[in-house]
Structures are given as C-alpha cells and as structure tokens.
C-alpha cells in the first residue's frame, strides 16, 4: 500500500547528507572513491526502488492522483497501511542499505589492495 514511502524517506535524508558531504570533501585528486560518490550509490538504489514500488502501487490502484492519494487511507485501512510500512517498508530499506554497506566494504578492500600493490611497486 505505502511501503515505498519508507525507502523514499531514507533516500531524501541520504541525498541531503550526500550534498553536505560533497561540499565538505577536498578537491584533491585521490585514488580512493569519495564518500559522497559511495553515498550516491545508496541514493540511486533507494530512489530507483522507491520509484518502481510507487509505480507498482499506482498500477494496482493503491495510489491515486487525488487526495488522500492512498486508497488505504480513504477506505479506513490506515492501521493496515502503517503495519505494511513498518514491516515491509523498513525491511526493504534495511536490505538495500545492507547491500550498499557490502558494496562499500568490497570497494574499500579493492582500494586498499590497490594502494598496497602500488606501494610495493614504488619501493
């Protein structure tokens, strides 16, 4: 019904954090990927998933283009909708964030390995 709202809300917050981080990062060229770039990966995953889920809910008539926009609210199923947001929406947001965290760990490991190899070559 409205599970896409939870990852979309996380996407709004992480987009703001990304913009703030981008402004604080130094302009130096580095071999390492900047944190704001890594955070943009999360944003793309969250925004993409939220848009697809919203489209799916529109397709099934659960989201409509007139107030109150969510048919569950109009039909009096607000508790059921909030339960879905709590269970499905939070789970989706956590799974996407965990997948991003694994991506960042792998990226950091590759960067560290590359730095060690270039250090050996320079010696």
Q: Which residue has the tokens 């792998």?
A: 106
Q: What span, in angstroms and rounded, lies between the C-alpha atoms of 1 and 63?
A: 8
Domain ranges of the chain: 5-122
**Model confidence over 46-86: pLDDT tens digits?**
999 999 999 999 999 888 888 888 888 888 888 988 998 99
Helix segments in 60-89, DSSP class H: 71-74, 78-84
Of the chain, the percentage scoring pLDDT greater than 70 comes to 98
């Amino acid at each position: 019904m409205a599970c896409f709202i939870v990852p979309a809300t996380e996407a709004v917050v992480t987009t703001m954090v990304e913009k703030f981080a981008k402004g604080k990062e130094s302009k130096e060229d580095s071999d390492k990927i900047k944190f704001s770039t890594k955070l943009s990966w999360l944003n793309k995953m969250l925004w993409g998933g939220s848009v697809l889920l919203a489209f799916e809910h529109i397709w099934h008539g659960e989201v409509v283009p007139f107030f109150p926009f969510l048919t569950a609210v109009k039909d009096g199923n607000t508790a059921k909708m909030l339960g879905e947001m709590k269970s499905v929406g939070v789970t989706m947001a956590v799974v996407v964030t965990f997948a991003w965290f694994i991506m960042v760990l792998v990226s950091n490991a590759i960067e560290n390995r590359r730095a060690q190899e270039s250090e050996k070559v320079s010696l």
